[in-house]
Amino acid sequence: VATVTVATATGAKTASASWLLHFPDREPLTVTFSPPSTHAEVLDAYPAALVAAEPIESGRRHHDTPLAGDQEAAVLAWLSEIGETDETTIADVLTLCRQDEEARRYFLGRAVEISANDDRRCCSQCGNLRSGVCVVARPGGRVSAIVGYRPASPDVLQRCAGYSSTASRN
Ligand code: SF4
């Protein structure tokens, strides 16, 4: 079940594009509104279950700080794990992570929670992926593929006999 919500609200006044929502029965949720929305509009969008909503202050935002490769892979892996497939939502989450420290901490925290119970990894997390090439791939090898094999979906979680958290010497 996807837990990421990118909501759309209407209203003449604008307040904040990002809100942290608190619920009585589940973890806080970071939500992006387009266009930016007032507190009343946020409460209207989440009527019954919401106990509090706080704007993610513009002061906590910064201009596009790139996510490290493994951080982006972790967030993408988490979104995949929870079944989030909407490209706009995925792009919004990554943008939020780049621009907002609180959102980055939240989403990376969720990614760590899931990865702790999941032994699957992405090629993009593997030390054997260099410049898009799996350097241990060879016919009949741990990764049986042509030499110079380029994984087509490096951000997809999988179990691979050749995976290494560090670069391989062979
Ligand atoms: S060893 Fe496996 S996980 Fe690592 S890059 Fe090659 S195919 Fe991907």
Tell me the per-residue pLDDT of 37-77, one tens digit each, with 9 for 90 and over: 788 888 788 765 566 777 766 555 555 677 777 788 888 88
Q: How far is the CA of 124 from the centre of ligand 1 (A)?
A: 8
Q: Each residue of 68-123: pLDDT tens digit?
A: 777 888 888 888 878 888 888 888 888 888 888 778 888 888 887 776 667 778 89
Q: What is the mean pLDDT of residues 17-42?
A: 74
Q: How far is the CA of 125 from the centre of ligand 1 (A)?
A: 9
pLDDT, residue 8, reads 37
Q: Which protein residue has the closest C-alpha to ligand 1 atom 4?
A: 163
DSSP for residue 166: S
Name which residue leads in pLDDT, 150 or 113.
150
Confidence check: pLDDT of 11 > 70:
no
Give the number of other CB atoms < 10 A from CB of residue 14: 13
Confidence check: pLDDT of 144 > 90:
yes
Residue type, 129: L
In which band, very low, low, confident or very high, does the pLDDT at 149 lie, cut at 50, 70 and 90?
very high
What is the pairing mode between strands 133-134 and 52-55? unpaired
Which residues on adjacent β-strands are paired with residue 130? 133
Task: Say if CB 20 and CB 100 are below 8 A apart.
Answer: no
Q: Is 14 in a helix, a strand, or coil?
A: coil
At residue 107, φ and ψ (nearest 5 deg) are -70, -40
Q: Which protein residue has the closest C-alpha to ligand 1 atom 8?
A: 123
Q: Is 83 in a helix, a strand, or coil?
A: coil
Residue 98, CA atoms < 13 Å, CB-side half-sphere:
14
Q: Which protein residue has the closest C-alpha to ligand 1 atom 1?
A: 162
Give the strands of the sheet with 29-37, arranged side by side: 5-7, 29-37, 16-22, 52-55
pLDDT, residue 1, reads 38
Give the number of other CB atoms < 10 A from CB of residue 135: 20
143: Cβ below 6 Å to ligand 1? Answer: yes
Q: What is the mean pLDDT of residues 133-142?
A: 95
